[in-house]
A = this chain, B = another copy of it.
């Protein structure tokens, strides 16, 4: 007999005498809308509002958390349908789904299992757990659901209670789909300015993108000054389109300005295709500083995610392209790296910086001390590998005593898996409820204060962190 799928009402809440308190706290946040100011869902989803395809394309293929675990246990990427750059090799969606279902036990103890159970039971209404035996039945059942109108993306926006969701958009995106959405769903789906591809001079395709920047912004990007001005103008276009934030993924958090002459020189060598790796790196750090300066001007909240070595396995990158879950963290450093930005803008009223990390060692050593003194700094929610029950608990335990609750950003979900959004917010609220409940039963916090804080963490702090700067 197949195993039933029954997410427990008390899941991820603490056991013992804290449970009752945690339940009450969690209940008090259930009805709050979701603010998704750091999303990666494809804007086309909402612009076209087409029905989702099949379970494999919706839940397996695009979810790195899922594919990396299956790959780590020996399932070849091709059998999971990862699209090859050369167009060869496809896998049948039903076969992909079977690979996944028959290895459901691999996800025990991981947040993926938690999110998926939530999606299966509460979003899709499934009643049996995935397994080799149930794979086909589940496949058909999900396909049937996805064909119903209430499973269209815009309908789910309502059902999920999403008040605002950000997408992530290249600085060179023309924002046409966002223009459509601004008309259809005003203020509900907004862009985020991501200039990474334009500030990393050595990445392939950089010069084409730079030319595209010039076209879009109407500036002359054959010189550094026009490039900088182009970025400034694109940011204004994003602001006009409703953007609240920028997003920056750099290997290092170093944000050290160069003098103009040096910046111009490096830019010129890059245009000639002759930039050195070292110059490209200091230029990226220079541009991080420039982006901070522009944020202090135009009020876009600056989100920084450093410390990940992209495409650790070059063969995977060559075959399947970037962002295939083969990115591996390295040690992060913020104290010295951000000093130039913070001594310049750390107390500036218009500037807001949200810091994320996948290196937990900086929580108590660097991030909490920085956020606990600089008014411009907020600590982002646990990111990527750390967006998990124990990861979120450690975050609170490691930062609260130095930074308090009110220097954290509130929960943001950071996902491209649209169906997982309610599960992710709910899990975060449960973990925060559990953390607060523990403080309550240890008499470190009153229960009425816990209610107030829980609401702030779940909603108000994100609203405040990503509010338009003056």
Bound-state Cα–Cα, A203 to B361, Å: 30
- The 0/1 profile, CB within 8 Å of B marked 1, for residues 445-468 of chain A is 100010011000000000000000
Write the nearest CB–CB distance from A4 to chain B, whole angstroms: 10
- The 0/1 profile, CB within 8 Å of B marked 1, for residues 87-131 of chain A is 000000000000000000111111100100000000000000000
- The 0/1 profile, CB within 8 Å of B marked 1, for residues 370-386 of chain A is 11111101000000011
Bound-state Cα–Cα, A346 to B314, Å: 11
Count chain B CB atoms within 10 A of each CB in A13, A17, A365 and give the residue with the most.
Answer: A365
Which of B347, B373, B397, B441 is close to A15, meaning CB atoms less than 8 Å apart?
Answer: B441
Bound-state Cα–Cα, A371 to B312, Å: 13
Any B CB within 8 A of the CB of A223 = no
Q: Which residues of B contact A309 (CB under 8 A)?
A: 335-336
Inter-chain contact B361/A313, CB cutoff 8 Å: no
Within A361-415, the residues touching B (CB, 8 Å) are 361, 364-366, 368-375, 377, 385-386, 388-391, 394, 397-398, 400-407
Known: A335-B309, A342-B313, A391-B401. A72 touches B365 (CB 8 A): no
Q: Which residues of B contact A364 (CB under 8 A)?
A: 360, 385-386, 391
Inter-chain contact A452/B12, CB cutoff 8 Å: no
Bound-state Cα–Cα, A431 to B458, Å: 29
Bound-state Cα–Cα, A361 to B329, Å: 11
Q: Which residues of B contact A314 (CB under 8 A)?
A: 343
Inter-chain contact A402/B385, CB cutoff 8 Å: yes
Q: Which residues of B contact A401 (CB under 8 A)?
A: 109-111, 385, 388-391
Write the nearest CB–CB distance from A77 to chain B, whole angstroms: 9
Task: Name A107's closest neighbour in chain B (CB-CB).
Answer: B404
Any B CB within 8 A of the CB of A359 = yes
Count chain B CB atoms within 10 A of each CB in A10, A108, A309, A333 and give the residue with the most.
Answer: A108
- The 0/1 profile, CB within 8 Å of B marked 1, for residues 120-147 of chain A is 0000000000000000000000000000
Task: Name A7's closest neighbour in chain B (CB-CB).
Answer: B443
Write the nearest CB–CB distance from A111 to chain B, whole angstroms: 6
Known: A108-B449, A401-B390. A443 touches B10 (CB 8 A): yes
Task: Name A349's closest neighbour in chain B (CB-CB).
Answer: B74
Known: A328-B369, A336-B330. A444 touches B389 (CB 8 A): yes
Count chain B CB atoms within 10 A of each CB in A17, A359, A443, A452 and give the residue with the most.
Answer: A443
Inter-chain contact A365/B358, CB cutoff 8 Å: yes
Task: Name A362's closest neighbour in chain B (CB-CB).
Answer: B331
Bound-state Cα–Cα, A389 to B438, Å: 12
Any B CB within 8 A of the CB of A339 = yes
Any B CB within 8 A of the CB of A86 = no
Bound-state Cα–Cα, A74 to B328, Å: 36
Which of B109, B346, B406 is close to A439, meaning CB atoms less than 8 Å apart?
Answer: B109
Bound-state Cα–Cα, A441 to B397, Å: 21
Inter-chain contact A74/B342, CB cutoff 8 Å: no
Which of B11, B366, B377, B407 is close to A330, meaning CB atoms less than 8 Å apart?
Answer: B366
Closest 7 CB pairs of A and B: A8-B443, A388-B401, A15-B441, A11-B443, A109-B400, A68-B373, A385-B402
Can you give 17 contacting A-B residue pairs, CB < 8 Å? A8-B443, A13-B443, A15-B17, A15-B438, A72-B371, A74-B375, A105-B452, A106-B404, A106-B406, A315-B343, A328-B369, A330-B335, A358-B365, A359-B361, A360-B361, A385-B402, A390-B397
